[in-house]
Amino acid sequence: MAGLILRRLIQAVVLIKCVLIFVFLLVHLSGDPVRIMMPDDSTEEDIAIVRHEMGLDKPLFTQYVIFFKNVALHGDFGESFEHGESALKVVLEHLPATVELATTAFLLSIFIGLPLGCLAALKENTVYDKSLMVGAVLGQAVPDFWFGLMMILFFSVKLNWLPPFGYGNWDHIVMPAITASLFHLARLARLMRSEMIEVLRQDYILTARSKGLSENVVLFKHALKNSAIPIVTVLGIDLALTLGGTVITETVFAWPGVGRLTVAAIHNRDYPIVQATVFLLASIFVIINMLVDILYTYLDPRIQYR
Amino acid sequence: MKDDRAQTAAFDELQDDLPEPHWSVRMLRSLGQQKSAQLGVAILALVVFAALFAPLISPMDPDSQSLTRVMKPPLWEGEGHVFVLGTDHLGRDLFSRLIYGARISLIVGLSATVMAGSLGLMLGLLAGYYGGKIDYLIMRLVDFVLSFPFVLLALAAIGILGPSLWLIVTLISLRQWTIYARIVRGNVLSLREQEYIIASRSIGGSNLRIITRHILPNVIAPVIIIGSLYLGRLIVIEAGLSFLGLGVPPPTPTWGGLLAEGRSYLYVSWWIVTFPGLAITLTVLGSNLVGDWLRDVLDPRLRTR
C-alpha cells in the first residue's frame, strides 16, 4: 500500500510538471507573446522595451527555468494585467466560489441521482421507471448552458422567483447547482439503475431472500453495497470533472468563480491569470484522480495497480 | 390445429440452427421494432438534410441584416411578417441561421469522430496485436491523456492560439482517440488468440494480411458504435466552445454562437436563445438514440458505456 501511494504521488508530480510545461509553452506557441499582449498601435521600441522587461528576449529554455523557479518557489505566475495583483492571488480569491458550486452540484447529483436510479431499478419496467429513464436520456442530451438559460427565462424572467445571476444568498446557487449537476445526475441515475438491476439478478440476492431476510436488509445490506464499487469510480471522475467543468455554468450565471475568471482572462489576453488558473485546476484534477485511484484499490483489493 | 403447433415448433427449432442473420438484416429488423431508434434516425436524417441542402431550404439569406426588422417574434405570435422563428438583434432570420448552423455542428462532430476514430483504431490495433513494449507505450499515452481536464486545456489553447474550425477538431480528436484505442485493443487481444488467426499465421499469412483481412473487419463495429455514442457529446462541446466565444468565429452561424448572442436579449426576446438550444438538444438526442440502437444490435457487450 505504501509503495502504491508513493508511486501515485510521483506520477502526480510528473503530471503536474507537464501541466506547467503546457501553460509555459502555450504562451510561446501563440507566436510572439509580446505583440499579442501589446495594443496594436504600439511602436517597435515599446515592444522591445517590454520584451526586455519581461525577460522574453532570453533563450526559451532559460525562460522556462526562470518560470519554473518562480512558480515552484514563490507560486509566482507574474502580475495580472487586468487586476494589477499577483495572478495566483487573484485566482485563489476566486477558488472558494467554484468549490462551493462544484460541491453543491456534486452532492445534488449523488443525493438525487442515486435514489432515483435505485427506485427505477426496484420498479423496473413500470411507468415510473420508464418516465425516469426518458428523463435521464433527455438530461444527458440537453446542453447544460442552454438548460441554465431556459431556467433563467422561466424562473427569473417569467416567474421572478430566483435571481438570474450573482452570488451571495442561498437562492443564488439554486439554478447554477442544478445546471452544473444535470449531466452527471442523469448519468448517475442510469448507471445506478443498471448496476442495481444486475445485482438484484444475482444468486446471493435470491439466497438472502429465501433465508427470509427482510426486504430492507436485502436491499440495503446486500444489493446496495455490491452495486457501489462501479459507482464510486464514476463518482470520483465526476467530482474531478465538475470542478474543472464549471466554466460554462459560471459564465451563464455570472458566478464569480475560477471558470468565469479564466474565460474573461482568455478574452482579455491576461496570460498570467490563464496560466495560473489552468495550472491550479489541472493540478486539482490530477490530485483528485490520484486520491480516487488510491481509494479504489483500498476498497477493492482485487484490483492490482500496475 | 395440433399439426400447426407441431409445425411451428419444428420451424422454431430450424430457426435456432440457422446462423445469425447478416448485421444489416438485424439492423433493419430491430429498427422496425424500436420506436426510439426510429425517432433517432428520423432526427439525424432531418439534421443532415438541413445541413446538406441549407441554401435550398432556408427561406432567407442567413447573413442579411436589416434594422427595420430587429427582434421580431416567431410567426405564431402574429405580427404579420414572414420570419418563421423570428429574427435576432440584427434582424437576421433565425430559422435560416439555425439551418446553416447545423453545418458547423455536423462538420465538427463528424470530422472529429473520423479523426479520433482512425487514430484510435490504428493505435489500438498496434497495441493489441503487437503487445509488449508498443502496447505498454500506447496504453501509458492513453493514461497520460486522460489525466488532464480536457475542456480546460482546450479552452486555454483555443483562447491563445485563436479559434478556428480545424484547431477545435484537432483538440477534440487528441482526447477522443483514447476511447477507441482502449476498446479496439481489448477486442484485438481476444481476437489474436482465435483459431482462424493462428491458422492464417501458420500458413504463412503476413502480419499486414492478418490485421487487414482478419482483425480489422472484426473491430470496425465497436468503432462505429463508439463514434455514434459520442457524436452528441462532441456536438455539445463544440456548441459550448462557441457559446464561450471560442468556437468557429462569427459571422458564421453556429448553434452555440446563436445562444451566446441571444443571451444578452434574454429579457426581451425569448426565441433567440430557445430555438438554437432546442436544435442542439434534438440533434444530440437523435445521435444518442442511434448510438444506443447500433450498440444493441451490433455489440451488446458495450452496454456499460
Q: Structural domain boundaries of chain B?
A: 32-52+100-298
Contact (Cβ atoms closer than 8 angstroms) between residue B163 and residue B249: yes
Per residue in B175-185, pLDDT (tens digit) is 999 999 999 99
SS (H, E, C) chain B: CHHHHHHHHHHHHHHHHCCCCCHHHHHHHHHHHCHHHHHHHHHHHHHHHHHHCHHHHCCCCCCCCCHHHCCCCCHHHCCCCCCCCCECCCCCEHHHHHHHHHHHHHHHHHHHHHHHHHHHHHHHHHHHHHCHHHHHHHHHHHHHHHCCCHHHHHHHHHHHHCCCHHHHHHHHHHHHHHHHHHHHHHHHHHHHCCHHHHHHHHCCCCHHHHHHHHHHHHHHHHHHHHHHHHHHHHHHHHHHHHHCCCCCCCCCCCHHHHHHHHHCCCCCCHHHHHHHHHHHHHHHHHHHHHHHHHHHHHCHHHHHC
Q: What is the predicted pLDDT for the residue at B303?
A: 59
**Is B178 buried (19+), middle (13-18) or exposed (0-12) by CB count in 10 A?**
buried
Name the B residues in 128-167 with CB < 8 Å from any A CB.
144, 147-149, 151-153, 155-157, 159-162
Distance from CA of A213 to the nearest CA of B (A): 30
Single-letter code of the amino acid located at A81: F
Single-letter code of the amino acid located at B204: G
Query: Cell numbers of B89, please?
Result: 438583434
Q: What is the predicted pLDDT for the residue at B127?
A: 92
| The overall pTM is greater than 0.90 | no
Contact (Cβ atoms closer than 8 angstroms) between residue B272 and residue A134: no
Q: What is the predicted pLDDT for the residue at B162?
A: 83
Q: Do B156 and A262 touch (CB under 8 A)?
A: yes
Q: What is the predicted pLDDT for the residue at B235?
A: 92
Per residue in B57-92, pLDDT (tens digit) is 888 777 777 777 777 777 777 666 677 777 777 778
Per residue in A121-154, pLDDT (tens digit) is 888 888 989 998 889 988 888 998 899 999 998 8
Q: Residue A174 pLDDT > 60, yes or no?
A: yes
Interface test with B, best of A145, A152, A183 (most B CBs within 10 A): A145
Query: Looking at A44-58, A96-110, A242-256, B118-132, which range is the least confident one?
Result: A44-58
**Contact residues on chain B for A157, CB-CB shorter than 8 A:** 266-267, 270
Single-letter code of the amino acid located at B82: V
Top pLDDT among B13 and B183 is at: B183
The pair phi, psi for residue B93, each rounded to 5°, is -70, 115
Q: Residue A234 pLDDT > 90, yes or no?
A: no
For residues A266-291, give the mean pLDDT: 86
Contact (Cβ atoms closer than 8 angstroms) between residue A178 and residue A151: yes
Query: Looking at A222-226, A254-258, B159-163, B215-219, which range is the least confident one?
Result: A222-226
For residues A13-32, give the mean pLDDT: 82
- Residues for chain B: how many in total? 305
Query: Cell numbers of B284, please?
Result: 444530440
Query: What is the complex's ipTM, to 2 decimals?
Result: 0.83
Distance CA B276, CA B273 (A): 6
Q: Do B152 and A262 touch (CB under 8 A)?
A: yes
Contact (Cβ atoms closer than 8 angstroms) between residue B244 and residue B155: yes
Distance CA A301, CA B79 (A): 68
Q: What is the predicted pLDDT for the residue at A305?
A: 47
Q: Work out the percent of chain B whose per-residue pLDDT is above 90.
A: 29
Class of domain B32-52+100-298: mainly alpha
Query: Looking at A141-155, A170-184, A281-295, B134-148, which range is the least confident one?
Result: A281-295
How does the average pLDDT of chain A come out, rounded?
83
What contacts B228, CB < 8 A, 6 or more positions away?
B287, B290, B291, B294
Residue with cell 444530440: B284
Neighbours of A230 (CB within 10 A): 16
Distance CA A128, CA A216 (A): 20
Query: Looking at A12-21, A174-183, B293-302, which range is the least confident one?
Result: B293-302
- pLDDT band for position B1 (cuts 50, 70, 90): very low
Which residue on chain A is closest to B276 by alpha carbon?
A146
Query: Cell numbers of B126, please?
Result: 498496434
Distance CA A255, CA A241 (A): 18
Q: Residue A59 pLDDT > 50, yes or no?
A: yes
**Contact residues on chain A for B243, CB-CB shorter than 8 A:** 145, 248, 251
Q: Do A266 and B147 touch (CB under 8 A)?
A: no
Q: What is the predicted pLDDT for the residue at B96?
A: 87
List residues of chain A with CB under 8 Å from any CB of chain B.
15, 18-19, 22-23, 26-27, 29-30, 137-138, 140-143, 145-147, 149-150, 152-153, 157, 164, 194, 240-241, 244-245, 247-248, 251-252, 262-263, 266-267, 271, 274, 278, 281-282, 285-286, 289
Distance CA B240, CA A285 (A): 20
B34: number of CA atoms within 13 Å, CB side? Answer: 21
Q: Residue B250 pLDDT > 70, yes or no?
A: yes
Q: Do B274 and A22 touch (CB under 8 A)?
A: no
Q: Nearest Cβ partner of A282 from B149, B259, B274?
A: B149
Tell me if the bond preceding B251 is cis, omega within 30° of 0: yes
Q: What is the predicted pLDDT for the residue at B109?
A: 93
How does the average pLDDT of chain B come out, rounded?
84
What contacts A169, CB < 8 A, 6 or more positions away?
A163
Residue with cell 477534440: B172
Question: Among B184, B108, B120, which residue's Cα sits nearest to residue B146?
Answer: B120
Distance from CA of A12 to the nearest CA of B (A): 9
Distance CA B128, CA B197 (A): 14
Q: What is the predicted pLDDT for the residue at B302?
A: 63
Each as own residue / partner, the long-range contacts of residues B217-222 (CB below 8 Å, 24 or more positions apart, any chain) are B218/B187, B218/B191, B219/B121, B219/B124, B219/B125, B219/B184, B219/B187, B219/B188, B219/B191, B221/B23, B221/B298, B221/B299, B222/B183, B222/B184, B222/B187, B222/B298, B222/B299, B222/B302
For helices A87-108 and A258-268, what crossing angle results, to 10°?
130
Q: Nearest Cβ partner of A247 from B155, B232, B274?
A: B155
Distance CA B149, CA A238 (A): 11
Query: Cell numbers of B131, please?
Result: 503487445
Which residue on chain B is closest to A187 by alpha carbon?
B305
What contacts A31, CB < 8 A, 6 or more positions away?
none
Q: Residue B36 pLDDT > 80, yes or no?
A: yes
Q: Do B159 and A286 touch (CB under 8 A)?
A: no
Query: Cell numbers of B221, please?
Result: 463495429
Q: What is the predicted pLDDT for the residue at A302?
A: 64
